[in-house]
Structure 1
Amino acid sequence: MDAKDYVVNEVLRDPRRFMVPIYQRRYQWSDTELAPFWHDVVAKADEALSGELRFQHYMGALILAPGGDGYNVGVTPRIQVVDGQQRLTTFQLFLAALREVAERRGVQDIVQGIRPYLFNQPMSGDDDPLTRFKLSPTPADRDLIHTIIERPADEVRTRYPEYYFQNGNPRQTGVPFAFAAYQRFMWWIDDYARYGLASAGDRDVGDEADGDQDLGLAARRLHALLQALLSHMKLVVISLGEGDDAQVIFETLNSKGKPLLAMDLVRNNIFHRAETQGEAAENLYRRLWGTFEEPFWEQVAPGARPARPRLDHFLSHVLTALTGQATSLRELYAEYRNFARPRGKQRFERVEDELVALTRFAPTYLTLEGADGEGTALHWLGRKLASWEVTTAYPVAFQVAEAGLSEDEARAIYRLLYSYVVRRAICGLTAKNLNGVFQRIGARFLRDGGPSLASLVDSFAEPVGPAVRFPSDDELRWAMCNNPLYKWFNKGERLQDVLWELEVASRGPFAEALARPSSLWIEHVMPQSWEAHWPLPVAEGAPEQPEAERRERLIHTLGNLTLTTDRLNISLGNGMFEEKRAKLDASLLALNKWFASRGEWNEAAIEERSAELAERAVTIWPHPLATGLAQRG
């Protein structure tokens, strides 16, 4: 291992290919990292313009390893970028943006001067057309970055029209980081050429201003930017020897600082082993791993705890589904290494087999998250689990979806899982142990040779403590009549989900199958502020306090709650029952037809309606021992 410092000019000018290993993540720098880099460059450019250059600025470290193909006469050397690829890619994007601005302003010496830092002059023995590029990014970024480096901005827009608005302006969100960085640099550089330091980067994209029209001064500023980067920015370059393990060094370096996703480290480990074992790593990457490079997988998983990207949660669910064991998100990379090499032995003969096992659950996850499979039983389960923020059931859903069960049996299993979650919530039982319950079910499925409805029913029938038991029908009935569910579930979609299921169950056999409206409100029939129009019916000489307490207890139970559209909810307000009854009767929801025959609305009516809804609930959310569960689904 050798460490020396070099100016950027010395790093980039020699003929060699910087190869970003396939196991490293895509380009990730956003304005958070780009802005400090830009201000460092501008500070040195200003010093150059004023003739007051003092010190060279250190930009960080670049760790390089031998490319693996040794030294061959007449062939451009390959250098593996172990760490620092984000910084190195930023240099390339900055130079491409500077070249574009210089071209527009007719500063041709800069255009020609930048070329040797972006391109190699291929040698006689080079047979790879990509040798001409100094940098070979990861496959997911390669086409875009090479297009940016090789083509003018107009051709980038032609090649990637989806990254631009119809008026031709570049999009600022929903685009790859490399594209956003290139556009940001072009705007900043052009702004600096026109205004100098005081305005560089201070205006919003798209602002119009006249700026400085002194073309000579603009050219000098562009030259200063190029000089600042190439001659006044330094890197500590650490060159590894043949005996140094690049993967171990990479993991060590990234164990602190800006954290990598667990799946970044997993990917690094997988493709490093693929290269070591002589498998076609890039082919495997494109064919099997490519789906995980979509922005969807980097988004924070909604409703899942802790707040981590979907990719990390997906990996955790996969490991639990395949092993039947709990997986720690905080130690996810270590969990995966232990899975892939249990007790130091290789679980899979080939890395390809490992990737197939890992990625085959991706379509199931997409469906559970609502991104695919609309109309299927699995999609229905995913939307229900999202309403209740219970993603810990995903590993069991993975197992069921991949088991090849009949549609009826799979649907019955999904219904029972949903029923378990809802019954426990309505009965006021803790949700803290749900992850352990679903992990235990998954382990049982593996022991039984695969998931089945019978296995799931047996799992729920096992003797368990009160923290995980499946509530009985009688317990559910009591809870429906007595628990203040409005107070418990008012936030989120849980109470709406309960009421909507009751709405569907309230429809007659010939009723129109009305789809769930996008906007629903929960209405108290007897309002929370009842004092003005809903006096207590207290007999003369009887104490008022017990009746008030009874009303306050019942007012938030399901018997007093219904669903309305937002407009109807606003119009109902705290008015008298006679006014509410007419408006509720005009509603299209079957849940509201119940009130039409009522002459008054009081505590007894609430209790009566609660009892009726409770009987429907027993069927909607069945117990595992219910007769004919498999057929009903």
Structure 2
Amino acid sequence: MDSKLKVTDVPEEANFYDLVAGDNVLEIPLFQRPYMWKESHYKALLQDISLIDEETNGAVFLGVIVSFGRGSGPGRPPTWMIVDGQQRVTTLYLSVMAAVEVAAKAGELDWASDIMGRYLLVRPMSGLSVNTKLVPSFNDRGQFDAIWKRIVTVKNFSSHTIVASNPPRAPSPTGTAEGLMLSQYMRIRSELTRLLREQGISGLNHHVEILTSRLSVVSISLRDPTVAPKIFERLNYGAEPVTVADLVRNEVFARSGDDASTAMHLFGTRWEPFVARFADKNADLDRFLFPYGLIYNPNIKKADLFAALRKIWEKFSGPEQIIDDLEQFQPAYLALTAGENYQDAHPALKLRVGRIYRSGRPSSIYPFLLKLLRAFELGDVSEAATCGVLDAIESFLFRRAIVGIEPTGLHAVFKGLWQELTSEAKGKDLDELLTPERLRSVVRSKPTISWPSDEEFRAGIESGELYRRKIATYAIREYELGLEGESPSDIHQIEHIAPQSATENWRAAIPDGYEKLVHTWGNLLPLTSSMNPSTGQSDFAVKRKAYADSIFASAREVSKHHEWNATAIRDRSTSIADWALTRWRF
């Protein structure tokens, strides 16, 4: 790039011509996200070009392009994988393509063929099946192919000497033939048709000169793609960030070699269904990868996750084995994070996994639970032992939530818990090692981690303000399910028997400590959304009648009281505490 036009002092500042100089190929990783820019993005690009046209700027800076080289070889041009910046690179390439089509249709075949050969195609090479200097992502190749077909079918263009000697050969079409890429191309083509009509070929040539020479980027070439997330965290521009999940996808299919057909088959039959299961359950592959990595290495830091995953997979035979390994932990993860039914054939285990999901479990427990549940699936741990450990973990988390202990610090406990409990596994049955007693002993040995005693737990129930705790909905639902009789599967709202905003009558019924008692467990009930507003601040006599007809057993239980005061609230809290000490044992 002409140093006089540079916006920055960095030697890496480049223009589009520099990026595609020689036989450089810009390749979007096979299954990177598709082209996403819309009309607003193109209008912003035209605004940048107008600044140069008006001589307001000598050049305009577009941002950063991050890539890593795949190298070259005999009959293979140097290829740069675009880790980030594909939207800008692709838009510039589409703009030059549109200029070629518009000029060719106007009979400017020499100019069009020269521009195509200079910016869009690599030189003829023996055995080179694709010669476009841009290779888009899997989902965009159908549209890319459709655009090239428009260009080569322009009258007399394909027979032009230069074009005939090196005709465009785009990647095999995959994905749909219509979409955002084609729409953007047609938008650009319309703009350049107007430009040619008003300013002639010289105006079009000037436009292409700006596109290729006077819109600059800083081109960062990575030695190692694993550092990409760290770079994105530190670059301040509006492009979509690359996630660890994006890098994992690219890593998996980079191991497919250059056989695109094999990669596409694997993508369609294995990878897409695997990822779709996360989306179907409103789950997130990116969040899954960290606990997955901790299963293999408890000392992984999030900032180093992708590098650690690559190291884990070094010994794997290929992409299918990576997907197999990821998939084996997916059912348990979706059950824990999205409430997907788990192990229908084992109702006791399904019940406990469902409880942990509904309790709003912290993500710090996932590595241990994924390993535990997978061990059960493989037959290494019995259902009874698995259920016992799940009960202990639920009790630990629930007791802490009731007494108001935040779930901070638990990551350090659970990330290595499996190794601590099973380190003596040689010659021993895992059922002997995975017991509630051993789990509690290991957890309580951590100096900063509290496992509330029965006395602390009871005090939390009897005097703690449950309504202000995140665990409230789960606690009230579990008590409801613990009562005899028919109980619905869900709770819609939490009802304060003595209302949050006290009337004079309620103040008279509870003259002392109203604000504290009103949010305790003893004063809370589940009610349907329709009944909750209807009872509101009514006196207890009115509420009592409504409770008697409730579908909730706990509301019908309260309706047996003739009055509701501080003593009634405390007595009910004590009764609930007696039940809870059995339900969530120490």
**1:148 maps to 2:143:** yes
Per-residue deviation at 1:283?
8.1
Which of 235, 242, 246 is 1:257 aligned to? Answer: 235
**Residue identity opposite 1:439 in structure 2:** K
1:609 corresponds to: 572
Per-residue deviation at 1:588?
0.7
- Provide the identity percentage: 22
**1:365 maps to 2:333:** yes
**1:622 maps to 2:585:** yes
2:540 corresponds to: 577
Q: 1:567 to 1:439 in 2, by over 3 A?
A: same
SS of 2:449's equivalent in the other structure is coil
Instruction: Confirm or deny: 8 A CA contact 2:29 2:83 kept in the other structure.
Output: no
Q: After the TM superposition, which of the residue ranges 230-239 and 409-418 deviates more from structure 2?
A: 230-239
**How far, CA to CA, are the matches of 2:543 and 2:353 in structure 1?**
35
Which of 433, 436, 450 is 2:412 aligned to? Answer: 436
The residue correspondences of 1:544-559 to structure 2 (distance < 5 A) are 548-559=511-522
Instruction: Confirm or deny: 8 A CA contact 1:445 1:452 kept in the other structure.
Output: no
| 1:80-101 deviation per Cα after TM superposition (whole angstroms, max 9, x unaligned) | 336665232333455678899x
Q: Which runs of 5+ in 2 are unaligned?
A: 1-10, 151-174
Q: Which runs of 5+ in 1 are unaligned?
A: 156-175, 197-214, 302-309, 538-546, 624-633
**How far, CA to CA, are the matches of 2:218 and 2:506 in structure 1?**
79
Per-residue deviation at 1:29?
6.3
The residue correspondences of 1:83-94 to structure 2 (distance < 5 A) are 86=86, 87-93=88-94
**How far, CA to CA, are the matches of 1:597 and 1:383 in structure 2?**
30
Q: 1:326 to 1:555 in 2, by over 3 A?
A: farther
**How far, CA to CA, are the matches of 1:287 and 1:267 in structure 2?**
14
**How far, CA to CA, are the matches of 1:588 and 1:500 in structure 2?**
13
**How far, CA to CA, are the matches of 2:212 and 2:563 in structure 1?**
86
Q: 1:12 to 1:466 in 2, by over 3 A?
A: closer
Q: After the TM superposition, which of the residue ranges 552-561 and 442-451 deviates more from structure 2?
A: 442-451
Which of 513, 522, 526 is 2:494 aligned to? Answer: 522
Which of 27, 30, 39 is 1:19 aligned to? Answer: 27
2:483 corresponds to: 506
**How far, CA to CA, are the matches of 2:446 and 2:15 in structure 1?**
66
**How far, CA to CA, are the matches of 1:598 and 1:608 in structure 2?**
11
1:163 corresponds to: none
Instruction: Confirm or deny: 8 A CA contact 2:339 2:357 kept in the other structure.
Output: no
| 1:549-588 deviation per Cα after TM superposition (whole angstroms, max 9, x unaligned) | 3444322211111011122111111111110111111211
Which of 417, 434, 439 is 1:455 aligned to? Answer: 434
Give RMSD over aligned pairs.
Answer: 5.1
Length-normalised TM-score, structure 1: 0.66
Instruction: Confirm or deny: 8 A CA contact 2:24 2:79 kept in the other structure.
Output: yes
Per-residue deviation at 1:180?
7.6
**How far, CA to CA, are the matches of 1:383 and 1:94 in structure 2?**
56
Which of 301, 304, 322 is 1:328 aligned to? Answer: 301
1:206 corresponds to: none
**How far, CA to CA, are the matches of 1:413 and 1:37 in structure 2?**
57
Q: 1:402 to 1:246 in 2, by over 3 A?
A: closer
The residue correspondences of 1:167-316 to structure 2 (distance < 5 A) are 182=181, 185=184, 189=188, 216-217=197-198, 223=204, 227=208, 230-234=211-215, 245=223, 256-257=234-235, 260-264=242-246, 310-316=284-290
| 1:406-446 deviation per Cα after TM superposition (whole angstroms, max 9, x unaligned) | 45543443333222211111123342232233235322244
**How far, CA to CA, are the matches of 2:581 and 2:178 in structure 1?**
55
Instruction: Confirm or deny: 8 A CA contact 1:61 1:238 kept in the other structure.
Output: yes
Per-residue deviation at 1:334?
5.8
Higher relative contact order (CA 8 A, sep 6+): 1
**How far, CA to CA, are the matches of 2:525 and 2:476 in structure 1?**
7
**How far, CA to CA, are the matches of 1:8 and 1:223 in structure 2?**
17
SS of 2:582's equivalent in the other structure is helix
SS of 1:369's equivalent in the other structure is helix
Q: 1:109 to 1:19 in 2, by over 3 A?
A: same
**Residue identity opposite 1:151 in structure 2:** A
2:156 corresponds to: none
1:207 corresponds to: none
Per-residue deviation at 1:402?
1.1
SS of 1:522's equivalent in the other structure is strand
Instruction: Confirm or deny: 8 A CA contact 1:247 1:272 kept in the other structure.
Output: no
**1:414 maps to 2:390:** yes
Instruction: Confirm or deny: 8 A CA contact 1:483 1:557 kept in the other structure.
Output: yes
Per-residue deviation at 1:312?
4.6
Q: After the TM superposition, which of the residue ranges 564-573 and 118-127 deviates more from structure 2?
A: 118-127
Q: 1:261 to 1:67 in 2, by over 3 A?
A: closer
**Residue identity opposite 2:302 in structure 1:** L
**How far, CA to CA, are the matches of 1:527 and 1:190 in structure 2?**
66
SS of 2:519's equivalent in the other structure is coil
**Residue identity opposite 1:459 in structure 2:** L
SS of 1:530's equivalent in the other structure is coil
1:544 corresponds to: none
SS of 2:506's equivalent in the other structure is coil
2:461 corresponds to: 480
**Residue identity opposite 1:615 in structure 2:** D
Per-residue deviation at 1:481?
1.8
Length-normalised TM-score, structure 2: 0.71
Q: After the TM superposition, which of the residue ranges 574-583 and 364-373 deviates more from structure 2?
A: 364-373
**Residue identity opposite 1:443 in structure 2:** Q
Instruction: Confirm or deny: 8 A CA contact 1:97 1:185 kept in the other structure.
Output: no
SS of 2:81's equivalent in the other structure is strand
Per-residue deviation at 1:383?
7.1
SS of 1:605's equivalent in the other structure is helix
2:559 corresponds to: 596
